[in-house]
A and B are shown apart, each in its own frame.
Chain A
Amino acid sequence: MKKSALLAFFVVALFGAEYITLNNGKTILLKDDGTWEEVTIVKKGDKNIALRKDGKWEEVKPDDIESADVLKGGGTDRFMDSKFAKALLGKWESPDGKIEYTFTKDKAVFKKGPKVVEGKWSIEYLDESKRKMIVNIGEGARLGFLSFGGIARSLKFSPDFDKLYDESEKMESLKDVVLYRVK
């Protein structure tokens, strides 16, 4: 009995962190050999029991079942919880007022002279070490890495995050365009 309890403890210790509950409610066991199998978690008293398809079972502590951190939207939203996305929120403007970006949680507006693009936004690419990102505004549709509609702008934060360098504008106008937060 003691041996069984000891074995059960080691099994739980070994596999406890390998249980993941997916967004669809199913729980899987990640095995050491690189494969996985679906398991059923049942309650027995105050204990969680994982029932495996090979007929074996083991007790699992609640803390050993992790929730899956699924990437959203095929990757386009993956940086939206980053500090870069939060730091973008607000209104940014070039000193001459010719270029404007307004970022809110759900919508962004880009203005350059008569050109106005607005709609949902996301960070397509982020290089945290260089503080560079590609911001996608007003996308209409997506097919893999192809983005249709809207505008993609390459922006870079200053080290203290109080200025934005418009790298796309530099490529178009040959000037180092700095944007300042005005709201």
Chain B
Amino acid sequence: MKIAKLSLAALMALGVSAFAEVQNIKVSGDAKLFYGTQDADYEQVGARPARGDLFSDNDSYGQAALNIGVTANLADSVQGKVALTALSTLGLENNLVSQVWAGQTTNTVWWASEAWLAKTFSKTTVKVGRQELDTPLAFSEKWNIATNTFDAIVVLNQDLPETTLVGAYVGRGNGVNGMGVVRTTDNDGNTSGDFFRTYGSAIDDTLETDLASGAYAAGIITTAIPNTTAQAWYYNVNNIATAYWLQADVNLKDVLAGLIFGLQYANLNPDNKVDAAAGTSVDSSSGWGAKIGFDFKDALPGLKACVAYSSTDEDGAVSLSNTATGLTGESKLYTEAWWNYGYVARPSTDTWSVKVKYDMKDVAEFGAFYTSADQDTGKFVATPADMNEFALTATKTFGSLSATIAYIYTDADDQNYIDANNNGEWDQGEKSDSYNTIQLYLTYNF
């Protein structure tokens, strides 16, 4: 008891001491309401009888989320943040929807999504705790209503001119593969408690092994080459895979103002520690991407366009995607689709993409995105699946409220199977059909 009192007193003293040097404490967050509906006949989101009608509850998914956080800038270059995330269906599943966006549960759940402290010593910053990460093969995905985070220790150093060195240990994460993105059950299946598991578990689940034991990452990002941002990353997901990622993004303003060019290469080696296909040795997966973009700021301010191409090795066994969400989620390849993640980074896949954005002043921000992924048979690809996606978006802010409406056309070989045998069953492997999706994203920042 005395120890507890002493600890409390020490904490209060520390608190008072810290608050005396407070430079800024910000309490803020956002509330989100996301809705999506599609006219697919096959069960695209969740297990239920789809009706093939837009806006019917069986073909729709919706959820609300609340994020609230406290960010503190203290003296001596100390920063910290604590944030909570809560998910709720608001009862929408009773009449308007039949699935959720994140978490794969209709229960109301909440968890500490961020809790970190960072201290800067000269040109070195150490950030410790639960945090978001943004590296090419281990990152927080932002497309969903909730974001996966990591329990990690990150060290940044900038002693070299125009260069940042990054070293990270990632112990745990709450990412899962599939639409859910975040895990909302503990190891006993309860929707309360600790949702974070040893890093690598998301891949571990996919490959039905029990090898996960954290990961290390090291990176160097430099702008020392004029007009170029170059980065190189190395990963070791303990007992599961090693990987590296190289990327250079060049501003070609000296050639033509507004012109940019990017090149990337990635390699992910399961190193035969993971037996993806029983009895078969697993080769490393590799792929490359290139993009060229243009900002039409002189001709039509607000208009930007980008064309990208990527190609992955036909001998690869796994996808060059986010290791935090089981190598089935979002990829940082330039060609990544707007909505249908999981295709462009698969082995033996060639992809084209075209992205156009137009910020029409005082009206709205519009986007058009086309992705065509063509997969061939490969060493580990017995049934290739092509995917074509076309998406249109419009985003408008009304003060603190941001609203986005999206239309997505999807034509994928492994989605929306039709009942070709006319036996009332939608069997995988039968012919697939295209379908349409409409989504509404509402975010209120406070």
Q: Which residues of A approach B to under 8 Å, CB–CB?
A: 95-97, 113-119, 124-125, 134, 136, 138, 140, 145-152, 154, 170-176, 178, 182
The 9 A-B residue pairs with the shortest CB-CB distance, nearest first, are: A173-B134, A152-B26, A125-B23, A124-B24, A116-B397, A148-B27, A145-B22, A176-B164, A147-B26
The 0/1 profile, CB within 8 Å of A marked 1, for residues 136-158 of chain B is 00000010000000000010101
Known A146-B27, A172-B132, A175-B221: A95·B229 in contact at CB below 8 Å = yes
Q: Is B379 an interface residue (CB 8 A)?
A: no
> Which residue in chain A gives the minimum CB-CB distance to B163?
A176
7 contacts between A and B (CB under 8 A): A95-B249, A113-B142, A116-B445, A119-B399, A140-B446, A152-B73, A176-B164
Q: Is B296 an interface residue (CB 8 A)?
A: no
Q: Do A175 and B73 have beta carbons less than 8 Å apart?
A: no
Q: Is B295 an interface residue (CB 8 A)?
A: yes
Per the bound structure, the CA–CA distance linking A174 and B23 in Å amounts to 22
Contacts of B118 in A (CB 8 A): 171
User: How far in angstroms is the closest Cβ of chain B from A154?
Assistant: 7
User: How far in angstroms is the closest Cβ of chain A from B258?
Assistant: 11
- Chain B contact residues: over half helix, strand or loop, or mixed? strand
User: How far in angstroms is the closest Cβ of chain A from B375?
Assistant: 28
> Which residue in chain A gives the minimum CB-CB distance to B139?
A173
Q: Do B135 and A146 have beta carbons less than 8 Å apart?
A: no
Known A114-B441, A134-B23, A136-B26: A149·B221 in contact at CB below 8 Å = no
Q: Do B26 and A145 have beta carbons less than 8 Å apart?
A: no
User: How far in angstroms is the closest Cβ of chain B from A99?
Assistant: 12
Task: Apart from A95-B260, A115-B402, list 14 A-B contacts with CB within 8 A.
Answer: A114-B402, A115-B443, A116-B402, A118-B400, A124-B23, A138-B445, A147-B26, A149-B28, A151-B26, A151-B28, A171-B127, A175-B221, A175-B231, A182-B297
Partner of B24, one of A97, A134, A178: A134
> Which residue in chain B gives the minimum CB-CB distance to A182?
B297
Known A113-B142, A152-B71: A176·B223 in contact at CB below 8 Å = yes
The 0/1 profile, CB within 8 Å of A marked 1, for residues 148-175 of chain B is 0000001010100010101010000000
Q: Is B395 an interface residue (CB 8 A)?
A: yes
Listed residue (A124, A173, A175) with the most chain B CB atoms within 10 angstroms of its CB = A175
Q: Is B251 an interface residue (CB 8 A)?
A: yes
Q: Do A174 and B22 have beta carbons less than 8 Å apart?
A: no
Per the bound structure, the CA–CA distance linking A170 and B402 in Å amounts to 25
Size class of the B contact interface (CB-based, 8 Å): 35 or more
Partner of B219, one of A124, A154, A171, A174: A174
Q: Do B25 and A146 have beta carbons less than 8 Å apart?
A: yes
Per the bound structure, the CA–CA distance linking A49 and B68 in Å amounts to 59
Contacts of B265 in A (CB 8 A): none
Q: Is B108 an interface residue (CB 8 A)?
A: no
User: How far in angstroms is the closest Cβ of chain A from B37?
Assistant: 20
Known A172-B134, A174-B166: A147·B24 in contact at CB below 8 Å = yes
Per the bound structure, the CA–CA distance linking A175 and B25 in Å amounts to 23
Q: Do B25 and A145 have beta carbons less than 8 Å apart?
A: yes
The 0/1 profile, CB within 8 Å of A marked 1, for residues 297-310 of chain B is 10000001000000
> Which residue in chain A gives the minimum CB-CB distance to B73?
A134
Q: Is B125 an interface residue (CB 8 A)?
A: yes
Known A114-B404, A114-B441, A140-B446: A154·B73 in contact at CB below 8 Å = yes
Per the bound structure, the CA–CA distance linking A113 and B135 in Å amounts to 16
User: How far in angstroms is the closest Cβ of chain B from A149?
Assistant: 5
Q: Is B380 an interface residue (CB 8 A)?
A: no
Partner of A171, one of B28, B79, B168: B79
Q: Do B156 and A170 have beta carbons less than 8 Å apart?
A: yes
Give chain B interface residues in 17-43, CB to chain A under 8 Å.
Answer: 19, 22-28, 30
Contacts of B97 in A (CB 8 A): none
Known A96-B249, A173-B134: A147·B404 in contact at CB below 8 Å = no
Contacts of B297 in A (CB 8 A): 182
Q: Do A178 and B73 have beta carbons less than 8 Å apart?
A: no
Contacts of B445 in A (CB 8 A): 115-117, 138, 149-151
Q: Is B345 an interface residue (CB 8 A)?
A: no
Q: Is B133 an interface residue (CB 8 A)?
A: yes
Q: Do B158 and A176 have beta carbons less than 8 Å apart?
A: yes
Listed residue (B304, B400, B445) with the most chain A CB atoms within 10 angstroms of its CB = B445
Contacts of A140 in B (CB 8 A): 446
Q: Do B441 and A147 have beta carbons less than 8 Å apart?
A: no
Per the bound structure, the CA–CA distance linking A172 and B132 in Å amounts to 7
Q: Do B134 and A95 have beta carbons less than 8 Å apart?
A: no
Per the bound structure, the CA–CA distance linking A171 and B219 in Å amounts to 15
Contacts of B231 in A (CB 8 A): 175
Per the bound structure, the CA–CA distance linking A97 and B221 in Å amounts to 18
Contacts of A95 in B (CB 8 A): 229, 249, 251, 260
Give chain B interface residues in 153-206, CB to chain A under 8 Å.
Answer: 154, 156, 158, 162, 164, 166, 168
Give chain B interface residues in 399-446, CB to chain A under 8 Å.
Answer: 399-400, 402, 404, 441, 443, 445-446
Q: Do A149 and B164 have beta carbons less than 8 Å apart?
A: no
User: How far in angstroms is the closest Cβ of chain A from B419?
Assistant: 37
> Which residue in chain A gives the minimum CB-CB distance to B227?
A95
Partner of B19, one of A138, A145, A178, A182: A145
Per the bound structure, the CA–CA distance linking A145 and B16 in Å amounts to 13
Listed residue (B27, B125, B168, B231) with the most chain A CB atoms within 10 angstroms of its CB = B27
Give chain B interface residues in 93-133, CB to chain A under 8 Å.
Answer: 118, 125, 127, 132-133
Per the bound structure, the CA–CA distance linking A10 and B49 in Å amounts to 98
Contacts of B73 in A (CB 8 A): 125, 134, 152, 154
Contacts of B27 in A (CB 8 A): 146-149
> Which residue in chain B gives the minimum CB-CB distance to A141?
B27
> Which residue in chain B gives the minimum CB-CB distance to A178?
B223
Q: Do B24 and A152 have beta carbons less than 8 Å apart?
A: yes
Per the bound structure, the CA–CA distance linking A119 and B398 in Å amounts to 11
